[in-house]
Amino acid sequence: MPVVEAPEHPVEASVAVDPKTTALIVVDMQNDFVKPGGALVVPTAAQTIPAIQLLRALARSHGMAVFYTQDTHEPGDIEFPIWGQHVLRGSWGWRIVDELAPEAGERVIEKLRYDGFFGTPLASMLTYLGVDTLVVTGMVTSGCVRATVIDAFSHNYRVVVPIECVADRSATSHQVNLFDMDMKYADVLPLADVLAHFGRR
């Protein structure tokens, strides 16, 4: 199957990110998905860490809100017949990778399912902060990233997905889901475009 390219955007119209009304969402960057020996490792996940670190450092320097979702399961979870056992609460695989460990004051949202909004206080926290734009990064493009992006759109947020900050187990699935999110729910953009226009309104 040929690689599917995301449609081009008019950069000036779609890239501008105002840190005062934007939050960075780091989705499920946990050992089970990212590190060798993890239960559901994405082969290219480690490549996203430097890109997310760069974006997070910029967000922090501008005082922008940073949230982390943490996929969290208990023994016997209904997802285990689909994916096998993973991210059991308190396990090594459940922990956020050391390279992206949250700082004091940054919020960690434990979630039961793919979507970062489902059954969590994320929406109310964002409303309290006056956020209208989300920059979504993390694992995996076709799963928890996509589900969170769709629900963010349904909550009337503008959503930006930097391409280098997400990954999937399948290159085809990665490309197809980026294309679909870009067409319907988000601005899917190279990280360089997001960084170059950071702080513009």
Give pLDDT tens digits along the chain (201 positions). 344 454 555 444 456 789 999 999 999 999 999 999 999 999 999 999 999 999 999 999 999 999 999 999 999 999 999 999 999 999 999 999 999 999 998 999 999 999 999 999 999 999 999 999 999 999 999 999 999 999 999 999 999 999 999 999 999 999 999 999 999 999 999 999 999 888 765
In a domain, 178, yes or no: yes
> Are the beta carbons of 166 and 44 closer than 8 angstroms?
no
In a domain, 34, yes or no: yes
In a domain, 87, yes or no: yes
Question: Which CATH number belongs to the domain containing residue 152 in this structure?
Answer: 3.40.50.850
What pLDDT does residue 198 have?
Answer: 81
What pLDDT does residue 2 have?
Answer: 40
In a domain, 5, yes or no: no
For 159, phi then psi, to 5°, come to -125, 135
The single residue of 144, 150, 159, 189 carrying the catalytic annotation is 144
pTM: 0.92
Please name which of 174, 188, 184, 175 lies closest in space to residue 150, comparing C-alpha atoms. Answer: 184
Is 144 tagged catalytic? yes
Give the range of the structural domain holding residue 111, as residue numbers without chain letter.
Answer: 11-196
What pLDDT does residue 1 have?
Answer: 35
Per-residue tokens: 130 = 């006056």
CA separation, residue 151 to residues 7, 77, 117, 175 (Å):
22, 22, 7, 20
CA pair distance 107, 190, nearest whole angstrom: 26
In a domain, 171, yes or no: yes
In a domain, 59, yes or no: yes
What pLDDT does residue 3 have?
Answer: 45
In a domain, 165, yes or no: yes
In a domain, 6, yes or no: no
Domain count for the chain: 1
**Cβ-proximal residues to 156 (8 Å cutoff; 6+ apart), any chain:** 132
> Are the beta carbons of 93 and 31 closer than 8 angstroms?
yes
What pLDDT does residue 16 have?
Answer: 76
